[in-house]
Chain A
Amino acid sequence: MVPTSYYLILSAMIFAIGAVGVLVRRNALIILMCVEMMLNSVNLTLIALSRQWGNLTGQVFVFMIMAVAAAEVAVGLAILIANTRHRESINIDEIHLLKW
């Protein structure tokens, strides 16, 4: 049986890659994809720990996170499309209307 810490380290690596992606990329869609990847890494952590302690609570948590992630992607993409009506670019450096 694979030790739990292996799964947790894999999850940490995916989370770190997603975090670097959010920081580095300027395309709003790819940033959204990296955020989804970070949420998935947390799902992997929760399921691994759920197995560690023989409890289904972690899996219920993952169920909730999946629902939240689906809702967030839907609303986030709707925001992006609404933004496209005013400007053509989805470069986040150019979406700065709220700045002074």
Chain B
Amino acid sequence: MTWSMLFFVLVGAVSLAAAAGVVLSRQPVHSALFLLTNFATLAVLYVTLEAQFLAAAQVIIYAGGIVILILFVIMLIGGETNDFVARQRSWTRGVALGLGILLLASLSYSVLQGFAQPPGDVAAMQGGIPEALGQTLFTQYLLPFELASILLLVALLGALVLGRHGTVAHTGSRPASPPAEGDD
């Protein structure tokens, strides 16, 4: 077993344990922290896969943005949780576990069939540095890039609209604001 293989096994084991921790934790905060661990281990794996820019983007966007957002919302609304049991359906967990094993088996089977050959021209990827990714992104995939920026703008507006409080006036001095803004 080479060092790179050993490294992959260790990091992969941590990633899987963190993934299991997300699903099995009682407290949402523990789940969020396990999710953070999962994202961090995935970023490490991206570096071994010649995707250095994406590893940094993973840490910044996911660990530094999405997990923080989730933790904020947990602090706002998600604090209390017992393990909610689905009403009238005690067999839910067994069926879900069975379906998950079936999914894993079919995915693994389809993957093991191909991909026996070693990786191809790894040097052409230049380690996934921003320069190389930017060349491809801004020449060949410019339209998806612009569409992604529009998507982010739309999501920003959507989150803003959804996050507004009700438009009923609370103070008597102000006239009632029209309710049309929040009803799109």
Same assembly: yes
Say whether B136 faces chain A, with CB atoms less than 8 Å apart: yes
A12 touches B107 (CB 8 A): yes
Prevailing SS type, chain B contact patch: helix
A37 to B28, CA, bound (A): 15
Q: Using Cβ atoms and an 8 Å threshold, which residues of chain B touch A33?
A: 22, 31-32, 35, 70
B38 touches A71 (CB 8 A): no
**Chain A contact residue count (CB 8 A cutoff):** 71
B119 to chain A, nearest CB (A): 5
Say whether B176 faces chain A, with CB atoms less than 8 Å apart: no
Residue in chain A with minimal CB distance to B141: A60
**Top 4 closest pairs, chain A to chain B, by CB:** A54-B121, A26-B84, A71-B155, A20-B100
With A1-B4, A57-B136 given, name 18 new contacts (CB 8 A): A5-B112, A9-B111, A9-B112, A12-B104, A19-B100, A29-B31, A33-B32, A43-B54, A44-B42, A47-B51, A54-B119, A54-B120, A64-B144, A68-B148, A70-B66, A77-B70, A80-B77, A82-B163
Say whether A97 faces chain B, with CB atoms less than 8 Å apart: no
A37 touches B57 (CB 8 A): no
A85 touches B166 (CB 8 A): yes
Which A residues are closer than 8 A to B by beta carbons?
1-10, 12-21, 23-27, 29-30, 32-34, 36-37, 40, 43-44, 47-48, 50-57, 59-60, 62-64, 66-75, 77-82, 84-85, 90-91, 93
**Chain B contact residue count (CB 8 A cutoff):** 89
A55 to B133, CA, bound (A): 10
Given the interface pairs A10-B15, A51-B122, A59-B54, the reply to whether A67 lies near B151 with Cβ below 8 Å is yes
Given the interface pairs A24-B93, A40-B42, A44-B42, the reply to whether A13 lies near B22 with Cβ below 8 Å is no
